Structure 1
Amino acid sequence: MSNCDPAHFSEDERAKEILRDCDYSIKINKELARSGKAPRQIRVYADGAFDLFHEGHANVLRQAKNCFPNVYLIVGVCSDATLNKMKGPTVMNDDERYNVVKHCRYVDEVLRDAPWEHNDAFIMDHKIDFFAHDDIPYISEGTEDIYGHLKKRDMFVATQRTEGVSTSDIITRMVRNYDVYARRNLARGYTSKELNISYHQQLLFKLQNIIESRQDFFRF
């Protein structure tokens, strides 16, 4: 039988063992990485929020995993505290986001509570050869692109976004069709308190569900 285990968290003993065994004194540039002749695995790091994990996220991680032959892909996932400060509230909490990334087939290791920016100490601690992210400048306080210093050092690999899908798009779709989803979940047993709607709205939605369930009777 085939066996495909989920990725390790960085603090797991197996991930620590792989890190210890990596001879980081062997420096790998892009030419050597692309040649397929690198004497060790190439450690590529990709990071993000990965909220409402979707095909766009998976596609980015696929690109990162396949940017060179023999890649060991480390994926950093930011915590709720970091994202609430830098971007705003998430839909999924950090444990949910850590675990969904852990079960993506392209990922070898997940770094929980990943930093927003990356200094030399972070690079050395995780023995990172290259960072993978889309090439759009990522503005943060005090810098026009948090990946800019990595691009200058030729440690950056550009990935492509998947057009037409993003976490913001999904949230927008949910908000636009809120009544439909609220009515569906009421029919499935959720309470007005859980859906954050008034008792009056609950009665209205239930009435709409009853009318729709009996609409055949009103056809002529």
Structure 2
Amino acid sequence: MDGSERTMAEGKENDENTTRSYNFNSNGRPIRVYADGIYDLFHYGHARSLEQAKKLFPNTYLLVGCCNDETTHKYKGKTVLNEEERYESLRHCRWVDEVIPDATWVITQEFLDKHQIDYVAHDSLPYADASGSAKDVYEYVKSIGKFIETKRTEGISTSDIIMRILKDYNEYVMRNLSRGYTRKQLGLSYVKEKRLRVNMGLKKLQEQVKKGQEKVGEKATSFIVPLLCLISMG
């Protein structure tokens, strides 16, 4: 089993383990579960966490809160997608019933009452409250018994995706240059652009030389082997 298969298998196991016996209304009203986050560069790890939240009860109405740019940049840092793009990504997730834009950074009783939230679902790691209101942004809901733990999907995160791009930065820049983006759009100086083009040109030349050497080697082998056979027979 390779890494991706193992991750997906672990995710399915997490889903099964997430369904728990909490008190819920027997009158048929959906249980209103709230999940929140930044959801930058929405990926399958995000989707899996929301799937777990959606499947907590037989009849769940999943509300997903997403912080706006001002709050996110203040407490967590710069995002790749802006707030409207992040909201729209969530609206297209099959598990989400309702998106709450401009979500609060720290969940309060007032927020729970306003949206009639029964439970809050998130992984159990404490999230330091950069605003200084609490040691953990989920401290209050944990204290009143309305917090339900979900499991993170290992091997994928927004930071991981950004790291992959940074690791092969030059190749991605050249990819976009070759597709018509200008150096100004990519934030490149004239010298940087020329250096990249020269380096990529040299790389292609090296690849062509290597392929040429391999072809020469194949032809030499096809000539030498029969010759050696003739010599051994003589």
TM-score (norm 2): 0.76
Measure how far apart 1:186 and its partner are.
Answer: 0.7
Task: Identify the match of residue 176 of structure 1 among 141, 157, 167.
Answer: 167
CA contact (8 A) 1:32 1:38 kept: no
How far apart, CA to CA, are the structure 1 residues paired with 2:193 and 2:137? 46
The aligned residue for residue 26 of structure 1 is: none
| Residue 198 (str. 1) matches residue 189 (str. 2) | yes
What does 1:70-81 align with in structure 2 at a 5 Å threshold?
A: 70-81=59-70
Letter in 1 for 2:181: Y
**1:39 to 2:28 alignment:** yes
Matches within 5 A, 1:115-194: 115-140=104-129, 141-194=132-185
Q: How far 1:173 sits from its partner (Å)?
A: 1.4
State which drifts further: 207-216 or 61-70. Answer: 207-216
1:118–1:217 Cα change, 3 Å: closer
Q: Shift of residue 67 of structure 1?
A: 1.1
Partner of 2:223: none
| Alignment size in residue pairs | 189
Larger radius of gyration between Structure 1 and Structure 2 = 2
Runs of 5+ consecutive residues of structure 2 not aligned to the other structure: 1-20, 214-234
Q: Deviations over 1:92-134 (max 9, x none)?
A: 0000000001000000000011110121111111000000011
- Matched to 2:163, the amino acid is T
Kindly indicate whether the alpha-carbon contact (under 8 Å) linking 1:79 and 1:112 is maintained by their aligned counterparts in 2. yes
CA distance 1:161–1:198, change in 2 (3 Å) = same
> Shift of the alpha carbon at 1:75?
0.3
Q: Secondary structure at the match of 1:202?
A: helix
The letter for the 2-side match of 1:55 is: Y
Distance 1:120 1:180 in 2: 49
TM-score, normalised relative to structure 1: 0.81
Which deviations, in whole Å up to 9, do the C-alpha atoms of 1:169-190 show, x marking residues without a partner? 1111111111110011111111
Task: Indicate conservation of the 8 Å contact 2:108/2:140, yes or no.
Answer: no
Moved more, 104-113 or 136-145: 136-145
Structure 1 equivalent of residue 58 of structure 2: 69
1:164 and 1:144 mapped to 2: Cα distance?
A: 27
CA distance in structure 2 between the partners assigned to 1:194 and 1:66 by the alignment: 43
In 2, Cα distance between the equivalents of 1:31 and 1:83? 32
1:37 Cα offset (Å): 3.8
Q: Which has the higher helix share?
A: 2
Please give the alpha-carbon distance, in whole angstroms, between the structure 1 residues aligned to 2:22 and 2:84.
37
**Structure 1: runs of 5 or more not aligned:** 1-29
141-150 vs 86-95, greater mean Cα deviation: 141-150
Computed over aligned residues only, the root mean square deviation of the Cα atoms, in angstroms, reads 1.7
State the structure with bigger RCO (CA 8 A, min sep 6), 1 or 2: 1
Q: 1:216 to 1:71 in 2, by over 3 A?
A: same
